Chains A and B, each alone.
Chain A
C-alpha cells in the first residue's frame, strides 16, 4: 500500500492528510508533513539521532503527543527531523496507555540551509481523524 501526505488549503490554519499501512506509517508520514510545512523541500542532513518516547490515553492522543514532542525538541534543542529510523506503536492492554517508541535522525537547525517557512504552534485535536490507514490533523500556525 502507498504512503504519503498532502497539505490541504485552510483559511486560518493548516490541515494535513497522511496515509500508509498501519499506525507507524501514518504517524511517520504525518511527521514528514509537519517538517515539510516548516522547512519545505530543504535537504536536512542526518547528523544526529534522538529517541522519542511518548504515551497516550488512545491513538489520537498518542499522535498529537508525538507531533508536539517533535515541536518541543525543535523549540528547545533546535532539532530538525530528516527521517524516522525506527518507530513502534504499542497498543495499551487492559486500560494501559498506548506507547510509541521512535528513533529520529536529523540535524541541529544551525546545520540546515533553509529558513523556517512556517511557525507551527501545535498539532491540535481539532477535526482529528485517525485510522490505521490515514489521519487528518489540523496544525495551529
Chain B
C-alpha cells in the first residue's frame, strides 16, 4: 500500500514518510488507506514533506485525517518546534488566526426546536451580522480594541456578552498570554475596528443541532450531553484583523529567512527563529489576533443565547445554555510536551487541527479532566458533526492534536454546477434542516456534497487514537455568511 507515496505503515491509521533530502524529521500522516489513496497526486503530501524542512521541528511533520492542500502547511498540518532552535511560521497558523468553533448545550430537545425551527433560525439570522463586509454594531476605539486584543473572551464577558463560567470552558480560557497589540499594524487594527460580533462568510456558520447518537455514555454525561438534546455551534475567527496580521508578517518573514540564512522549499513557509525579534513580534501579534477571535465567538455566542431566549420566551440560564467548550483550529501555542522522554516547552503550530488534550491534563477544565478535553468537529450543513474527547495517545503521537473538520471535496465552481439554491433548500428540508444565508451563491458553495463526509475523517481519527468519539449530532437549522 502507498508505495508510490513512499510511505510505510506505522500504527493503525498512521503512515510514515521517512526523512529524505532536506527533511529534518519524518512525515507522518494519520489516515485510513481510503483517505490516503485520495491524497495521491495532490500537493498536500508534498506540503507534509516541506514542513519537515523547518528548522528546529521536533518528532515529525504531522497531518491529521482531514489533510488537504493548504498554503505552505497542509490543512490538517501540525508541527512542533523547539523553543530555542526552532522557528515560528505564519503559514503554519494561517490567515484566519484562531478560526475555531464552540458549542453551547441546552435543556431543549429536538422536538422543542422543530416546533419553532423557522422562527429560531430567522431570529438568529436577524440578530447576527453575516456575510462579506458586514459590520457589527460594536464600534471600538483604539484603546478598547487594544483591550480586546489583550483580554480576549474575558473582555466580552466583562462587557456583558456572556457568563464568567464561559471562560473556564474555552481553550486558554479564551485569552492567550503573550499578546501585544503594539505589534499589530495600523492596517490590521483598522480592519478589526468594526468586525467584532460578525460571523463572516465562507465556511463560517451558526448551527442548531441535536444529539443523534452517543458513543461514550460516561464522557457524554461529563460533557452534559444527552440524546435528542439541542446544542448550538458557533464557527468563526479573527475576521479581517487576523488576515492582515498574517499578510503583514509573511512579508516580515520573507525578509527574515534571508537574514537568518534559512532555506525552505516553499515561500509560504517563510518563518523566523522563535527567539528572534521577528519571531517574538509575530507571536505577540498572532496571540492578539487569537484573542480577538475568542472575543468574537464569545459575542456571537451571546447573540445566539439572546436569539434562543427570544424564540422560546425563557432566559438563557433557564434554558441551560452553558458552554460545552471552545477550540481553536488555526493557532500557534507554547505547550509542554514529552519529546524523546523529556518534558519540554515547544511551539505547536496547528493549521486546521484541534487541540485534543487527554485525561488528567492540567489544561483540561476540572469538570472534564477525568475524560479528556472536548474536541469539536464540525461536518457540513446536511449530514453530521461530532463531539470527541482528547486522548493519551494524542499526547504521545500528535502533540495533543486531532482533526478539525471534513475538508472540501468540490471547488466552489463545481458546487455551483452540481446543485441550484432551490434544489439545495429542498434537499436540506427533506433532511429536516432549515437554512438562511446572506447569499444564495454562498449557500450553494457550502452544500453538503461540496464537503467530504466528516464521518470518514472522524472514524480515522478515532481508529488512530487521536481522539475518541463521544457523540454524533445532526443539523436542524443553520445560518451561513
Contacts and interface: CB of A to CB of B under 8 A. Distances in A.
A binds B: yes
Interface of A: 9-12, 14, 56-57, 60-61, 64-65, 68, 72, 74-76, 78, 109, 115-119, 121-122, 124-126, 128, 138, 140-141
6 contacts: A9-B413, A74-B133, A76-B190, A124-B95, A125-B250, A141-B412
Contacts of A14: 412
B251 A65 contact: yes
Given A11-B68, A57-B254, A121 B411 contact: no
Nearest to B190: A76
B72 A126 contact: yes
Nearest to B134: A116
Given A11-B409, A12-B408, A75-B191, A61 B96 contact: no
Interface residues of B, number: 41
Contacts of B132: 115-116, 118-119
Contact of A76 (B69, B71, B191): B191
Interface stretch (B240-248, B342-350, B466-474): B240-248
B71 A126 contact: yes
Given A9-B411, A119-B201, A76 B187 contact: yes
B251 A61 contact: yes
B410 interface: yes
Given A61-B251, A125-B267, A126-B72, A141 B202 contact: yes
Interface string B68-80: 1111100100000
Contacts of B96: 121
Contacts of B200: 119
A60 B266 CA distance: 13
Interface string B273-307: 00000000000000000000000000000000000
A72 B244 contact: yes
Among the interface residues B96, B191, B247, which one has the most CB atoms of the partner chain A within 10 A? Answer: B247
A10 to B, nearest CB: 6
Interface of B: 68-72, 75, 95-96, 131-133, 187, 190-191, 200-202, 240, 243-244, 246-247, 250-251, 254-255, 266-268, 270, 407-414, 439, 441, 481
A124 B244 contact: no
B68 A122 contact: no
A11 B270 CA distance: 24
Contacts of A61: 251, 254
A121 B413 contact: no
A126 B251 CA distance: 13
A78 B243 CA distance: 17
Closest 4 CB pairs of A and B: A126-B71, A116-B132, A119-B132, A125-B267
B190 A12 contact: no
Given A57-B255, A140-B243, 18 more contacts: A11-B409, A12-B69, A61-B254, A64-B251, A72-B187, A72-B190, A75-B133, A75-B240, A78-B133, A109-B133, A119-B133, A121-B95, A122-B246, A128-B267, A138-B71, A140-B71, A141-B202, A141-B412
Given A76-B187, A76-B191, A125-B268, A12 B247 contact: no
Contacts of A128: 267
Contacts of A60: 267
A20 B268 CA distance: 25
B201 A10 contact: no
A60 B190 CA distance: 25
A40 to B, nearest CB: 9
A9 B255 CA distance: 31
Contacts of A57: 254-255
Nearest to B96: A121
A41 to B, nearest CB: 14
Contacts of B72: 126
Contact of B95 (A56, A64, A140): A140
B133 A122 contact: no
Contacts of A68: 247
A9 B244 CA distance: 25
A89 B246 CA distance: 25
Contacts of B68: 11-12
A69 to B, nearest CB: 9
B81 to A, nearest CB: 20
B268 A124 contact: yes
B194 to A, nearest CB: 9
A11 B411 contact: yes
Contact of A126 (B187, B201, B268, B412): B268
Contact of A116 (B133, B243, B250, B254): B133
Nearest to A76: B190
